Structure 1
């Protein structure tokens, strides 16, 4: 009689511990970067032993790649939602708002992504090429079509997207500095109004 070799589904405890490890690792990687993070730090933050960490993941890189892979889909969603059939100004300002909301809600994830890119994207480059690049090219073509149709000011779509990334993600990646300079616990006070005005003025046809 042949034995059933179908992998067993992870138990509730295993799923909980795996999530616990990933959440702790997100804090550690966001604070220390990949190179500065250690399994000991992750184990301490998760409240688990190092051997327990290694039961679920083969090592630090495995944890880091898992986090980045999960993050990629979340990171792309706001750009995916930009609708070529919608009103150009509404769609682009909506994209700005979604990216700013992410900066507020997912600051650790933003710093994780930024740290990976600053290191040359050694673990993320395949995802950037396979997932982000085609989407980026597609949305740049959408924006260019809006520009060619006279619906937006004539600007470079690529640098427009870079500018949106830079201005919105700044509120996550440099949140500690912003809180000191503005003397507030909110990492993005007044950012919504300012960025909407900035990009509306930039994008308005006839500028």
Structure 2
């Protein structure tokens, strides 16, 4: 059974296939398919966390990739592919939801954002895993939507602070403070909830500091 790719490996492969896709003289269907394969599931998960339904998320992904296919020659100067795709997908999804009457009166950053925890799946048994996931998701639910989104992008997608800042239209220092406050809040609340939940929060934080 193949091991899942780490975020670093996935990003590296994406860069390689993207380069082939946008620079080939003729359309390279294989490279385009790999760009889709490497990103579609993460984009869909991000969209669901932003409150999109499954069909809308899939439609927006297909619309985004049709745009990439049509405009590929104009995308050669794109430096950070992962961030570009997440930002383009996010904007398209929120626009689609606004057109449907959702978020019409919300300020930027107030959109609902939920996170499903899938960390440590292979390290604990099924019953304990379900209990821990529920516990951590309840802790995350106490954060603001913008904090949850920043934590998701930082610790579950592996984006750096600069990438998150561009995606959320914030400056880097504000993102650092946002994530730091969120993690301090999570650590404090997890200590009162469960030693195992506290350990998971510490592990997530430690992996990226």
Common fold: TM-score over 0.5: no
Calculate the TM-score normalised by the size of structure 2.
0.31
The higher relative CO (CA closer than 8 Å, separation ≥ 6) is in 1
Calculate the TM-score normalised by the size of structure 1.
0.32
